[in-house]
Amino acid sequence: MLKRSAPLVPLLFSFLLAACAGPSLHQPVARYTPVPAPEPTTQHVDALVDDQPYELPGLADTVLERGFELVGTPYRYGGSSTKTGFDCSGFIGYLFREEAGISLPRSTREMIKLDAPLVARSELEPGDIIFFNNRGRGRVSHAGIYIGDNQFIHSASRHSGGVRVDSLADRYWRASYLEAKRVLAQKPVEGAFPRHR
């Protein structure tokens, strides 16, 4: 019997040593205590925040994408819908209201007075509203939306085919250009959201 249990003795001895090396039931087990992160300094916060106003991403693209879908919509004086047609301010107002949730004044004379950043002609970006004096009376009489590459989209006139794209390099539009405003920098109206088609 001793001969058969002899190989078990080293095994039992190993178990006893392992049990002695482990923590005792009477000794407290060390617990992990998290170290609190240091409070951010003013310099850290300043590095994360820039002075640029928040811009809604892709908003100009959304407005212009819908505008391109409406190319060919007839011109109609006082019009502001896809069913009846658009005049210039009705077209802009429709796009900004439906796609950006921004409510604009109905006429170009009121639209040009908006409290929005004035943009130099050399710094135009897609989505900026551009204003023209195409009647030679010294005041705003037409408006469109800049789309990039010196071009803009607008509801031109009954004779010109309604909603279309034209170039600011064209002599007529170059001569009647007044100014541009970055209306998309404004916050959308509370509770107004772009409609999904």
142 is catalytic: yes
Catalytic residue among 20, 44, 142, 159: 142
Nearest CA to 147 out of 88, 26, 63 is that of 63
88 is catalytic: yes
26 is catalytic: no
Put the strands of the sheet holding 118-119 in their side by side order. 118-119, 177-181, 129-132, 142-148, 151-155, 163-167
List Cβ neighbours of 23 (8 Å cut-off, separation of 6 or more). 29
How many residues are present in the chain?
197
Catalytic residue among 20, 26, 44, 88: 88
Nearest CA to 118 out of 107, 106, 131 is that of 131
Catalytic residue among 20, 26, 44, 154: 154
Nearest CA to 112 out of 128, 123, 135, 95 is that of 128
> Which of the residues are catalytic?
88, 142, 154
